[in-house]
Amino acid sequence: MSDLDRALAAADDGLDKSLERLFGLLKIPSISTDPAYRNGCREAADWLKRDLAALGFAAELRETPGHPIVLAKQPKPGGLNVLFYGHYDVQPVDPLDKWETPPFEPRIAEVAGRKIILGRGASDDKGQVMTFIEACRAWKAATGDLPVGVTLLIEGEEESGSVNLPPFIEDAKAELRADVALVCDTTMWAEGKPAITSSLRGLIYEEVTVKAANRDLHSGMYGGAARNPLHVLSAIVAALHDDDGRVTLPGFYDGVGETPEDVREQWRGLGLDADAFLSPIGLSQPAGERDRMVIEQIQSRPTCDVNGMWGGYIGAGAKTVIPAEAHAKISFRLVGDQDPAAIRRAFRAFVRARTPDDCSVDFIGHKGSRAIQLPFDSPALVKTRAALEAEWGVAPVTIGSGGSIPVVGDFKRVLGLDTLLVGFALDDDRIHSPNEKYDLESFRKGARSWIRILAALAA
């Protein structure tokens, strides 16, 4: 029997105890955004510290201006070392009357033939964190050691903005040295179909104000002669895309690479066509680049979207004015090597060039972030893909995320680390909602998957 087989057997044999430990953590009300639960957050951090220390990790709490961070280490000098990230805080439980059972009294139920773990944090993120910790426990039980060096960084403020995490990573970067980062706060593609998130889109957010007259004007007296900032801004916004759905900013697509054809072929087989993706929200026609699949439009291609636009009178009834100002909030999702600063400059130049005489324009720029892309031929990605296929019996989907996960950017920017995002949540887990759940099979096979991934990375 190999060490890997012994570790897998240890996880299976210890499943009941693993669930007891998970339930112990789920019972702690660690709602980070509500000051009334400050003690619950510290209790959850202490619980994890004690559990990891009992496993042989050098575990401690690191204080922050907010909730403490759990840092636990067992390095492997000369071997591969991984940095694992998760969070122990949870979302508020409101509305409480929508919960079928109390949110901090976890239990196992059976729904449509599936056994599920019910309770706040079951999926986001305590259950996911514990899959990794239980994988480490199984390796220790089977062999007395871990196949790779492991550092765990488990924060308590992810659900309230992680405001204290970036400065902590900056200050502790020498302690957080590793070869690759692992994040579990993601989902599978579908039940029984694992996924590796290998890319995250970056973000730029701009606010634009176009001003014309020095006050709102009567449209009967001034209409036809005075500039209308809403007309001006609407024309600028309309010019941001061409008829094929491409963004028209000069240089916008600089740094946008092509997805390898074998990956695109894998995506074609996922069945995510326009009808499957858009019909549940009452739409039917994709609005992005015409020559791209829907799955490309939402994860591997850059975008420009108007998030809000207003000006003039928007109250009840009629008020015939030409507004003095018009406003818009516009975001760009970035991919590949797109440069946020260059795109911000291009956007502002684009707007200024289309702002006519008698009008002025002001900008408010919010923080930008680069996209994150793990190379498709990364050894860590290749090994993780093989490990997941061995556990689940199907090849995992390598996908991108249309959104951003700030900690992944911090790991790259501060620590120079690529991140593997592997999670076992499902889309129906009701995270952030009443009756949050985590499939029992996600928990069981999640731990087994991490056992295999650690072995594969060590090889």
In angstroms, rounded to a whole number, what is the distance separating the alpha carbons of residues 418 and 373? 8
Provide the pLDDT for residue 136: 98
Buried b (16+ CB within 10 A) or exposed e, 51-85: bbeebebebebbebebbbbbbbbbbeeeebbbbbb
Q: What is the mean pLDDT of residues 160-170?
A: 96
Lookup: tokens for 398: 């390598």
Measure CA 98 to chain center. 26
Q: With H, G, I as helix, E, B as strand and everything else as coil, classify residue 287.
A: coil
Does 367 have pLDDT greater than 80? no
Q: What is the pLDDT of residues 226-255, one digit of tens each?
A: 999 999 999 999 999 999 999 999 999 999
Contacts of 118 (CB under 8 A, 6+ apart): 100, 101, 106, 107, 108, 109, 435, 436, 437
Rg (CA), the chain: 25
**Model confidence at 376, in pLDDT bands (50, 70, 90)?**
confident
User: How deeply is 430 buried, as exposed, middle or buried, from its count of CB atoms within 10 A (0-12, 13-18, 19+)?
Assistant: middle
What's the pLDDT score for residue 403? 76
Compute φ and ψ for 409, nearest 5 degrees.
Answer: -65, -40
Per residue in 118-137, pLDDT tens?
999 999 999 999 999 999 99
- Over residues 290-315, the mean pLDDT reads 95
Q: What is the mean pLDDT of residues 98-105?
A: 97
SS3 content of the chain, % helix, strand, coil (to 5): 35, 25, 40
| Torsion angle, alpha carbons of 263, 269, 273, 275, to 10 | -160
pLDDT confidence of residue 271: 86
Structural domains present in the chain:
3-200+371-458 (3.40.630.10), 202-256+302-369 (3.30.70.360)
pLDDT of amino acid 364: 97
CB-count burial class (<10 Å; 0-12, 13-18, 19+) for 224: exposed
pLDDT of residue 428: 94
Please name the residue that has the structure tokens 């993780």: 384
* Mean pLDDT score, 85-89: 98
Q: Give the residue from 175, 152, 141, 148 showing the smallest Cα distance to 55.
A: 141
pLDDT of residue 308: 96
Check residue 443 and give its pLDDT: 98
User: What pLDDT is stored for residue 385 in this prediction?
Assistant: 96
Per the rule left: phi > 0, alpha: psi between -120 and 50, beta: everything else, 391 is alpha
At residue 402, the pLDDT reads 79
The rounded percent of the chain whose pLDDT value lies above 70 is 100
Query: How high is the pLDDT of residue 415?
Result: 97
How far apart (Å, rounded) are the C-alpha atoms in residues 268 and 293?
8
**Residue 214: what pLDDT?**
96
Helices (H), 144-216: 165-171
How far is residue 313's CA from residue 319's CA, in Å, rounded to a whole number?
Answer: 6
pLDDT value for 254: 97
Mean predicted confidence (pLDDT) in 298-321: 95
The pLDDT score that the predictor gives to residue 23 is: 98
Hey, how many other C-beta atoms are within 10 angstroms of the C-beta on 193? Answer: 15
349: amino acid identity, one letter: A
Query: Mean pLDDT across the stretch 34-56?
Result: 98
Instruction: Report the C-alpha gap between 104 and 121 in whole angstroms.
Output: 9
Average pLDDT on 104-127 reads 96
> What's the pLDDT score for residue 224?
94
| Contacts for 212 with CB less than 8 Å, ≥ 6 apart | 226, 227, 228, 229, 232, 322, 324, 325, 358, 359
Tell me the pLDDT of the chain averaged across its residues.
Answer: 96
Q: Please give the average per-residue pLDDT across 67-86, as a whole number.
A: 97
Within 10 angstroms of residue 289's Cβ, the number of other Cβ atoms is 18
d(CA 382, CA 390): 13
Please give the distance of CA 135 from its chain centroid, rounded to a whole number.
23
Q: Please say whether the dihedral angle defined by the alpha carbons of residues 124, 125, 128 and 130, taken in this order, is positive or negative.
A: negative
Q: What is the pLDDT of residue 335?
A: 94
Name the H helices within 293-339. 294-299
pLDDT band at residue 326 using 50, 70 and 90 as cut-offs: very high
Q: Where in 335-445 does DSSP place strands (E)?
A: 360-369, 372-373, 397-401, 419-421, 437-439
Residue 404: what pLDDT? 73
**pLDDT digit string (tens) for 424-459?**
999 999 999 999 999 999 999 999 999 999 999 999
pLDDT-derived band at 405 (thresholds 50, 70, 90) equals confident
Single pTM value for the model: 0.87
Q: Tell me the mean pLDDT in the region 49-70.
A: 98
3-state SS assignment for residue 197: strand
